[in-house]
Amino acid sequence: MASLLPGGVLPAGHVTVVSGGAGLRVGLLAAATAAGARCAVVGWPELGVAAVAEQGGRLDCLALVPDAGPDPAAVVSVLLDGLDLVLLGPAVAAVPPSRARVVAGRVRAAGAVLLVGPGWPGAELVLAGRHCRYGGLGTGAGRLASVSTTVRCSGRAAPSRTAEWVAAG
Measure the CA–CA gap between 72 and 36, rounded to whole angstroms.
Answer: 25
What is the structure's pLDDT at 115?
A: 96
What is the structure's pLDDT at 145?
A: 76
Domain residue limits, the chain: 10-125
What is the structure's pLDDT at 169?
A: 59
What is the structure's pLDDT at 25?
A: 92
Q: Which CATH class is domain 10-125?
A: alpha beta
What is the structure's pLDDT at 41?
A: 97
| Residues shown for the chain | 169
Sequence-separated contacts (24+) of 102-105 with Cβ below 8 Å: 102/73, 102/77, 103/15, 103/73, 103/76, 103/77, 104/15
What is the structure's pLDDT at 146?
A: 76
What is the structure's pLDDT at 1?
A: 67
What is the structure's pLDDT at 147?
A: 77
What tens-digit pLDDT sequence spans the chain (169 residues)? Answer: 677 777 778 889 999 999 988 888 998 999 999 999 999 999 999 999 999 999 899 999 999 999 988 888 999 999 999 999 999 998 787 788 999 999 999 999 999 999 999 988 889 999 998 877 778 777 767 777 777 878 888 888 677 888 887 776 5
What is this structure's pTM?
A: 0.88
What is the structure's pLDDT at 65?
A: 96
Measure the CA–CA gap between 161 and 169, rounded to whole angstroms.
Answer: 26
Measure the CA–CA gap between 160 and 88, rounded to whole angstroms.
Answer: 23
- Contacts (Cβ under 8 Å, ≥6 apart) of 169: 51, 54, 55, 144, 145, 146, 147
Beta bridge partners of 152: 128, 162
